[in-house]
Structures are given as C-alpha cells and as structure tokens.
Amino acid sequence: MLLFFKEYKIFAIVFGVISIIIVTIIYKTLNVYKPLPVYQPEMVNAELVDSTIQSQRKYHKIGDFKLINQNGKTITQDDYKDKIYVADFFFTTCQTICPIMTSHMADVQKEIMTDDEVMLLSYTVTPEIDTVEQLKRYANDKGVNDAKWNLVTGDKKQIYELARKSYLAVKSNGDGGPFDMIHTENFMLIDKKKQIRGFYDGTKAEDIERLLDDIEILKEEK
C-alpha cells in the first residue's frame, strides 16, 4: 500500500508539471496579440496635461503641426500620415537626461531602419536656441538618419500646445513666460490614427525594449 501511494505521488507530480507546461503553451498561443490601450487626457498625470482637456475621456488625437526640421524642411502631420511613430521632447544643450534619451532613440532608429511603417519625431522645447543649424549639428553628432528621424523647431507656442494638448508629456514651468515648459523623459508611441498608445521612460533600457515590443503589437492592428 505504501509503495502504491509513493508511485501515485510521483505520477501526480509528473502529471502536474506536464499540465502546467501544456496550459502555458496554450495560453501563450491564444494570447499572442493583446491590443495596446488608447490613452486619453484623463488617464495621464494632470501635471503633463493642459487644464482645458484634463477631463477628456475619449477621441483624443495628436493635433496638426507645421514645424521645421534639421534640414530646413517644413514638416507637418502629412509626413507622418499612415505611420507609426515615436515622439519625444528635448533640447540640444541639455546635459542631464537628454543625452541618454537621444542615445536610446538612436537605438530605436537602428531597429526600425528598414521598417517603412515606423518613424521618429523629436521636438525641441527651446526653439529660440535650437535653430535649424543647431539641430543639424546635433543630428550629425548623434547619427540621426534624415529619412527616419526629424528633429523639429519653430514657434514656441505651437510646440508648447502640442506638448501639453496633444502628446500630454511636458510640465508647465510656471515661473517664466506663458509658454515655458519642462520636458520629461517620456517617449510616446503614436499609431496611424494619431492616437497615443504608450508612454515609456526614455532613460531606461527596459522601457525601450518594451517600446520595441509594443511597436510590433501595434503593427498587428488593421
């Protein structure tokens, strides 16, 4: 009788392990695709969102824009039509988080270099300093590929409103002029419908990996 229970115990353990493996395989097979959330202003830290839209629960999209890139070319939303893209806010003279963010954006550029569906877009928060010439020097220094990644400058009010009313990603300074802003480490993933589908810490390698994974998930959407 003791031998029977001993053999039964071994069988139960083996059966349990096999069952777990089978269930895990089935789960992964059935859950390959999991849609990303569509972020609305109400879902985001209020410090990063303009007060006029903080309670908005649906229909949020990136607004139209018209700015100038590192080559002096006018860049609008049409340049990103039917594209998935990653956006951020930076400035070329930043010595804290910007170098890390730019390095990580360059890593993303490397991964999507041959992918026609995906692009990158970086907005300066100090357009009075970051002229076209300054952006070009920065782009050359950081290995920016003009076909994949636009660094844009232009009207500060427009950039400020894009940051806080569209991308929900920049804090208001509050101590200076009406359009002074403090950029964050956020990278934003934007889909082909101009919706925000993810926020990532641009200073963390693990978030960059998650971003790259989410780009692949987003590409599965029709």
pLDDT in tens, 184-211: 999 999 999 999 999 999 999 999 999 9
pTM of the model: 0.84
> What's the average model confidence in pLDDT over 36-43?
98
> What's the average model confidence in pLDDT over 95-99?
95
Q: Residues 56, 25: one domain? A: no
**Residue 150, by phi and psi: left (phi above 0), alpha (psi -120 to 50) or beta?**
beta
pLDDT band at 135 (very low <50, low <70, confident <90, very high): very high
pLDDT band at 34 (very low <50, low <70, confident <90, very high): confident
- Which helix H or strand E contains 4, and what residues bound it? helix 2-30
Q: Residues 180, 120: one domain? A: yes
Q: Residues 23, 107: one domain? A: no
Q: What CATH number does the domain containing 66 carry?
A: 3.40.30.10
Q: Residues 160, 83: one domain? A: yes
pLDDT band at 180 (very low <50, low <70, confident <90, very high): confident
Q: Residues 131, 87: one domain? A: yes
Binding site feature residues for Cu cation: 94, 98, 183
Binding site feature residues: 94, 98, 183
Number of domains in the chain: 2
Q: Which domain holds residue 7?
A: 1-32
Amino acid at 78: D
Q: What is the pLDDT of residues 101-111, one digit of tens each?
A: 999 999 999 99
Query: In Å, how far are 67, 146, 170, 194 from 61, measured between CA atoms?
Result: 18, 25, 16, 5
Burial code (b: 16+ CB inside 10 Å, e: under 16) for 49-59 equals bbeebeebeee
Q: Residues 93, 113: one domain? A: yes
